[in-house]
Amino acid sequence: MSTTTDPAARLPAATAAEAELAVQARQAPVRSEGYWAGVWKRLRRDPVTIVCASILLLMLLAIVFAPLLAPHDPYQGSMLRRLRPIGTEGHPLGTDELGRDILTRLLYGGRLSWYMGITPVVLAFFIGTFLGVIAGYAGGRVNMAIMRVTDVFYAFPSVLLAVAISGALGAGIGNAILALTLVFIPPIIRVAESVTQGVRNLDFVDAARASGAGAITVVRVHVLGNVLGPIFVYATSLISVSMIIASGLSFLGLGTRPPEPEWGLMLNTLRTAIYVQPWVAVLPGVCIFITSLCFNLLADGLRQAMDVKG
Amino acid sequence: MAFYLLRRVLYAIPIALAVGFVCFMLVQIAPGDPINAIVPPDAPADVVEQVRRDYGLDQPLPVQFGLWLWKVAQGDLGRSLATGRPVWADLSSAIGNTLLLAAVASAIGFTLGCVLGGLAGTFRGSVLDRIAVGAAVAGVSVPHYWLGMVLVVIFSVQLNWLPAMGAGPGGSADWAWDWAHMQYLVLPAVTLSVIPMGIVTRTVRGIVAEIMNQEFVVALRGKGLTRRGVFLHVVKNAAPNTLAVMGLQLGYLMGGSILVETVFSWPGTGLLLNNAIFQRDLPVLQGTILVLAMFFVALNLIVDLMQTALDPRIKRA
């Protein structure tokens, strides 16, 4: 294979963390049969991760079964019951500026918030891994082409890029997801590329190549198994940011449109109510915060349990 | 070294051009005819055709990009559809305000981050360490636009200590470093500082902990060097990487302040962008994003050069 890319040509954002990932991959631990058993054992012993995973699971169940749990209709309000405080009879979390039940809208709103936060990371995980592994394994001109394009997208701060793309395309759930996917592909490509480069030169990969295996076979059988773990852990850590930016786009009026319930959009429309019912107005943000915090801590726990540095 | 520096500077040029291309494409990917970004929708058809020829919009895309780039290089970012004024006129004052907000926010965030991270890295496993780690995770997980709202509820609505929005008497044009103006900066700057606080704390904690584990620190201690002396050695070793992270964070703040500026109606680039999005004012959108992205490219370059200059261990061929 051709030489690896010149590190000088990279942007500084190729951080120590990424370098560590590469080192990590180079020293890839010998995986005995009990690797996943070990991961699971370590995860179970980590109380923070367990608590976060449980909270997220409960939330997921709550938003999936929203129609069964919600006391009211998410779209139907009453002008007579506008902006009731928390603890109102029949409206435990109060009502919004159009008299709609907050608890109901939070339950339904979670559906869109989760969907818009997680979909971009999942899409970016597949696309980014695909391109990053190609760049890392092929090296040479292919690597140049992929990594230089990545550099260009790295030259935008992530929130700005998301706002720019969805601002130009116009409001809409699809446009917001597209914008966020484009934001998260480059960082995943970088991690995938550096991990793959680390694995590529290991002896067993050389051995596989020497025994006549084609590039696709080598990548599928020998490389992917060793790189997917670190990339997956990295992608998990992006979910938190993704949820914050996705709801942020809706908050700016770029994601979901009224009357659709979504946490960021609810926060935006309730903004005018902070002088009337301040504590009701900040509730959707509490949901975003808890979700993003739990995903962050879960990603940290996964990283430790899977023994991925970075 | 000199060769590396030169290469790094030269490499910024294609990146800047490519960033320009992405910004140029923003108007192209926008639904509808790009001509709508220049003339109001109610303009008569012959005027539209005239403008289309004048702006070279009947030319192929690469030619159009060249023409656009030529104008941008001369400082012409086009005119706002909403106000009819040159984009640069609104943008120049907004950039100053965003820079002010980002600078104050990073001063708060970096100071807190260095102190928390340094203490946490030195005393690993202590209660202090746990507090710092908790604060760092909370800082990076909090939706900052929501935090801004909460701060407004507490300090403006409930306590009535600080103003909820705006940039003070006379707006940003009459900015002065007195309390009458600075009180408007407190809440947005604190809100914006939580992200760099979290990231810098994490980074500094990791770096310091790693340095403290190295043998030379043990040797310095064994030699009988004072705590102060050891501290200086640690700072010297931690500085290059920490500064690099800080530099990038400043750039992220400039680009990411749109949400906070919207919450507090701070008259910066974020508010400008927000208004441009609402009015579908594509020239303003494009110009603002271009300038912010160019700023980020320049910052990237400076951080990289600075890091190389500060750390003699970095030898990049």
Closest CB from B145, B285, B293 relative to A167: B285
Q: What is the pLDDT of residues B115-158, one digit of tens each?
A: 999 888 888 888 888 888 888 989 889 998 899 889 888 888 77
Give the residue on B whose Cα is nearest the Cα of A281: B149
Instruction: Write down the pLDDT at residue A23.
Output: 58
Q: Which residues pair with A101 in a beta bridge?
A: A95
Instruction: Write down the pLDDT at residue A5.
Output: 41
The position carrying tokens 């394994």 is: A137
Q: Which residues pair with A88 in a beta bridge?
A: A91
What single-letter amino acid sits at A143? N
Contacts of B179 (CB under 8 A, 6+ apart): none
Nearest CA to B292 out of A13, A251, A159 is that of: A159
pTM of the model: 0.84
B95 in Cβ contact with B269 (< 8 Å): yes
Q: Is the pLDDT of residue B104 over 60?
A: yes
Please report whether residue B278 resides in a domain. yes
DSSP state letter for A257: -
* Three-state secondary structure call for residue A276: coil
Please report whether residue B25 resides in a domain. no
| Chain B residues with CB-CB distance to A160 below 8 A | 255-256, 258, 289, 292-293, 296
How does DSSP assign B16-54, residue by residue? HHHHHHHHHHHHHHSSS-GGGGTS-TTS-HHHHHHHHHH
Average predicted confidence (pLDDT) for chain B:
83
Chain pair A-B, CB pairs under 8 angstroms: 163
| Chain A residues with CB-CB distance to B143 below 8 A | 244, 247-248, 264, 285, 288-289, 292
Closest CB from B11, B149, B286 relative to A271: B149
What single-letter amino acid sits at A189? I
CB–CB contact A289 B142 (8 Å): yes
Domain membership of residue B142 as a residue range? 87-146+187-316
Instruction: Write down the pLDDT at residue A118.
Output: 94
Instruction: Write down the pLDDT at residue A51.
Output: 92
Give the residue on A whose Cα is nearest the Cα of B207: A16
Domain A33-73+86-306 has CATH 1.10.3720.10: yes
What ipTM is given for this predicted complex? 0.85
Q: What is the distance in angstroms between the Cα of A131 and the nearest Cα belonging to chain B?
A: 20
First to last CA, chain B: 7
Q: What is the pLDDT of residues A112-136, one digit of tens each?
A: 999 999 999 999 999 999 999 999 8
Closest CB from B19, B141, B303 relative to A289: B141
Q: Report how far residue B193's alpha carbon sits from residue B200's, in angstroms, rounded to the nearest whole number.
A: 11
Structural domain count, chain B: 1
Q: What is the pLDDT of residues B197-229, one digit of tens each?
A: 999 998 899 888 888 888 888 888 888 888 888
Q: Report how far residue A266's alpha carbon sits from residue A100's, in angstroms, rounded to the nearest whole number.
A: 11
| Chain B residues with CB-CB distance to A264 below 8 A | 143
Contacts of A213 (CB under 8 A, 6+ apart): A221, A222
A53 in Cβ contact with A258 (< 8 Å): no
Q: What is the distance in angstroms between the Cα of B75 and the nearest Cα belonging to chain A?
A: 20
CATH code, domain with B208 = 1.10.3720.10
Please report whether residue B2 resides in a domain. no
CA torsion A40-A46-A47-A49 (nearest 10°) is -70
| Chain A residues with CB-CB distance to B245 below 8 A | 15
Closest CB from B143, B244, B300 relative to A288: B143
Instruction: Write down the pLDDT at residue A10.
Output: 39
Confidence of residue B317 (pLDDT cuts 50, 70, 90): very low
Please report whether residue B76 resides in a domain. no
CB–CB contact A248 B145 (8 Å): yes
Give the residue on A whose Cα is nearest the Cα of B27: A168
Q: Report how far residue A174's alpha carbon sits from residue A179's, in angstroms, rounded to the nearest whole number.
A: 9
Instruction: Write down the pLDDT at residue A60.
Output: 93
Give the residue on B whose Cα is nearest the Cα of A159: B256
Q: What is the pLDDT of residues B25-67, one digit of tens each?
A: 888 887 776 676 667 777 777 887 887 777 677 777 888 888 8
Instruction: Write down the pLDDT at residue A21.
Output: 58
CB–CB contact A8 B30 (8 Å): no
Own/partner long-range contacts of A160-165 (Cβ < 8 Å, ≥24 apart): A160/B255, A160/B256, A160/B258, A160/B289, A160/B292, A160/B293, A160/B296, A162/A245, A162/A249, A163/A249, A163/A252, A163/A254, A163/B258, A163/B273, A163/B277, A163/B289, A164/B23, A164/B26, A164/B285, A164/B289, A165/B26, A165/B29
Whether cis (ω within 30° of 0) applies to the bond prior to A67 is no
Please report whether residue B263 resides in a domain. yes
Please report whether residue B227 resides in a domain. yes
Integer CA distances (angstroms), B13 to A13, B20, B294, in order: 17, 11, 11
Which parts of B126-215 are beta strand (E)? none
- Tell me which residues of chain A have a pLDDT lower than 70: 1-33, 308-310
Longest CA span, chain B: 85
For residue A285, count other CB atoms closer than 10 A to its CB. Answer: 25
Question: Could you state, in order of their start, the residue ranges of all structural domains in chain A?
Answer: 33-73+86-306
Q: What is the distance in angstroms between the Cα of A181 and the nearest Cα belonging to chain B?
A: 16
